[in-house]
């Protein structure tokens, strides 16, 4: 499942290439035909993210809400502007005969260019729920768990159900207190609470496992038994990791890496994490085999020695 950094990057990509222009909005798959007709021809004024929720605001006040769920992703074609200063362009900046795509979902990657002379925009491929297009850029959404048009009040109701998101708040310390209140008030395991989007927004399975390891905290500890200063430290650690993920487009959670090691981790997923997907492999700190367990129907990775 795409985690919070990915959704923020999608919002930034939409802001860079589609905001401020009238959009041709369609539903090639047909499942969003009414919503597409409602948005077609409007100017997108703003694209924002809160946790795993994406909100695209249009001139009429209509808002496109998207939740990628387990399998959703956006494909970007044509003009694809670098969304981080100093970062190389991730797509074709020249003639739109080059059909180049950046996919933003659970994994972010550049697709091969198609130099077969296809005109722009490229024809939709597969089950595209909604296509947003300008004369130079196309964004195709496929496989979301939610895709709907809401009014401002409905959007606010969605946001009000979410916990704090470090990338969407101006006061990290105040938000830390909110998260501490919500965690320490409940007897649910802290590993489950971190995945509860009403407690803290944006954390998925990877960040959950890695944050808990970095804190050397047993995921099965009831929230009400976790000291408030530990919860606050988790929140601030999450804020730092989220900022890194938004910048780099990948989740690198090992703080022991030097510059060379980090560069290697950018291209080798096996070097990025402490415990995630390392079942049976020795803990990078103590050598104890990493465990995988089931917590609320999701896989939980931990070191049974370091996280007591």
**Contact indicator for 288, 279 with CB cutoff of 8 Å:** no
Question: Given the DSSP bridges, would you call strands 146-150 and 63-67 parallel, antiparallel or unpaired?
Answer: antiparallel
Whether 308 is a known active-site residue: answer no
Whether 3 is a known active-site residue: answer yes
Q: Is 254 exposed, middle or buried (0-12, 13-18, 19+ CB in 10 A)?
A: middle
Whether 52 is a known active-site residue: answer yes
Q: Rounded distance, CA 142 to CA 145, Å?
A: 10
Among 3, 57, 108, 210, the one annotated catalytic: 3
**Contact indicator for 301, 290 with CB cutoff of 8 Å:** yes
Q: Rounded distance, CA 235 to CA 219, Å?
A: 15
Q: What torsion do the CA atoms of 230, 231, 233, 238 make, to the nearest 10 degrees?
A: 140
Among 9, 12, 52, 131, the one annotated catalytic: 52
Among 65, 247, 277, 298, the one annotated catalytic: 298
Whether 247 is a known active-site residue: answer no
**E strand map for 162-302:** 291-295, 298-302
**Cα dihedral sign for 67, 18, 76, 4?**
negative
Phi, psi of 184 (to 5 degrees): -75, -5
Q: Which residues are catalytic?
A: 2-3, 52, 298
């Amino acid at each position: 499942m795409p985690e919070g950094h990915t959704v923020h990057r999608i919002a930034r990509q939409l802001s860079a290439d589609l905001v401020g222009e009238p959009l041709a909005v369609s539903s090639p798959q047909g499942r969003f035909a009414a919503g597409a007709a409602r948005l077609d021809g409007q100017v997108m004024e703003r694209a924002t993210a809160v946790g795993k929720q994406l909100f695209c605001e249009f001139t009429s006040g209509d808002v496109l809400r998207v939740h990628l769920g387990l399998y959703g992703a956006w494909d970007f074609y044509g003009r694809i502007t670098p969304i981080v200063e100093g970062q190389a362009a991730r797509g074709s900046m020249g003639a739109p005969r080059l059909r180049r795509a950046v996919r933003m979902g659970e994994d972010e990657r550049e697709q091969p260019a198609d130099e077969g002379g296809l005109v722009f925009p490229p024809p939709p491929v597969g089950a595209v729920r909604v296509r947003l297009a300008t004369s130079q850029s196309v964004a195709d959404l496929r496989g979301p768990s939610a895709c709907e048009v809401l009014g401002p009040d409905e959007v606010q109701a969605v946001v009000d159900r979410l916990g704090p998101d470090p990338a969407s708040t101006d006061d990290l310390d105040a938000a830390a207190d909110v998260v501490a209140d919500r965690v320490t008030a409940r007897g649910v395991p802290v590993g489950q609470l971190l995945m509860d989007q009403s407690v803290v927004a944006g954390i998925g399975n990877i960040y959950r496992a890695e944050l808990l390891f970095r804190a050397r905290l047993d995921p099965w500890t009831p929230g009400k038994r976790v000291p408030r200063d530990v919860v606050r430290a988790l929140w601030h650690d999450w804020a730092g990791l989220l900022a890194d993920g938004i910048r780099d487009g990948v989740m690198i959670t090992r703080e022991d890496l030097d510059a060379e090691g980090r560069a290697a981790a950018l291209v080798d997923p096996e070097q990025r994490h402490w415990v995630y997907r390392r079942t049976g492999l020795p803990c990078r700190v103590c050598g104890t085999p990493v465990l995988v367990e089931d917590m609320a129907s999701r896989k939980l990775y931990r070191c049974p020695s370091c996280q007591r």
